[in-house]
Chains A and B, each alone.
Chain A
Amino acid sequence: MTDALAELEKVSRVYQKGKERVEVLHELDLVIPKGDFLALMGPSGSGKTTLLNLLGGLDKPTSGSIRVGGVELATMSNAQLAKWRAHHVGFIFQFYNLLPVLTARKNVELPLLLTNLGAKERRKRAELALSIVGLADRASHYPKELSGGQEQRVAIARAVVSDPTLLLCDEPTGDLDRETATEILRLLQTLNSEHGKTIVMVTHDAQAAEYAKRTLHLDKGKLVERMAA
């Protein structure tokens, strides 16, 4: 690991629930080096997903600074953030979030609609991404025709197809059995070690966290770092 990909400085996120003010993250400082595979753990409501959303430009901090790849996210407009996400971040969700009306290949191709690539090139890259996750032979299948593990692989292919530097995974194995979860985690490890992707993974599962290079624990909006075994 060398220089920092993401730097968070005194980041707070406060939500207003009716008259109540809920501080989910409190003046959080965090540096994520390039090539890191970071697991974020902690109890429900500790701010894991909020932190992930802030790192991915899906949400903005109430105060503090978030720089990813040298770009300050806190001051960007929604349109600028959307464009930035398209080029720099891949998301992987617990429930895969594939579009049911599209085949696996077309789901993977979706982020490439935001590029200037031609139809042939988009198709080629989508097929390559599917082959990386071992699903080249399922390209024409719709999500409902795939198992949970296969759906998550398609989601991973979709996340990496535009070659982002940062992969953000929110409970990527939360809906899978142990064996399938292991396959997915090994795939993430491969993407980290062989393809140089920086990965931040939110998980409740201590076994899943073992696949990361390091684990951070969040509690009441604050971080506690522990080195992976």
Chain B
Amino acid sequence: MKREGLGEFIAFLVTIFFITLVAIEAFDRKYYYSPGSAIACMFLASVPIIFRHYRLIIFPLWMAIWYFFLLWLHCFGILHDYYGRIFWFDELTHTMAIGLLASVIFLLLIIINHHSRSVRLPPLTYPLFIIIFAMGLGVTWEVLEFVLDVTIDTPMQYSLADSVSDMMTDLGGGLLAASACLIYLLFLDPDQISDALQADRLIKRFQRKYHPGT
């Protein structure tokens, strides 16, 4: 476990280094949207590290690396305008992001199923919940993009085709991730997965806040 923590920290440092390079290059080009995005991504990159530090939840190393790579890819794509120039770049980042979110949802559902007395999810219902929650988050992102475009004039939604293709990608990414999670469940016991996440502290906090006395 310590080795995984070290690996995650090294991956975090590498990500910060590469995102900093992107930010510096963007400053050089006087393209100020990109460094803003890079700084936001640096803060976001620290989330798994903070969760691990406070022992709230320990995400698998592959998931953390996937997350870091995605943040860097997003910053890099904005700087070089890949979102505008390469038609499949947006689809790629959306699919990867929704796949990652779907995996996080899968782990959270396993934790809820493991720790809550009032919830029992049969394995075959996981894909359904993964897809609907992933799509819910995908729709939230589209609404946020539209609101930001209208209020502070950001260039996030190019056209109707772009928004629809984002939603189709979210649906496709959710379906892919749900299938992968189902295969994952064939080889690993949900209780083992839940134990590896070490989310006891997070659950205790949650129970203290929402179900005091239990």
Do chains A and B stick together as partners? Answer: no
Interface residues of A (CB under 8 A from B): none
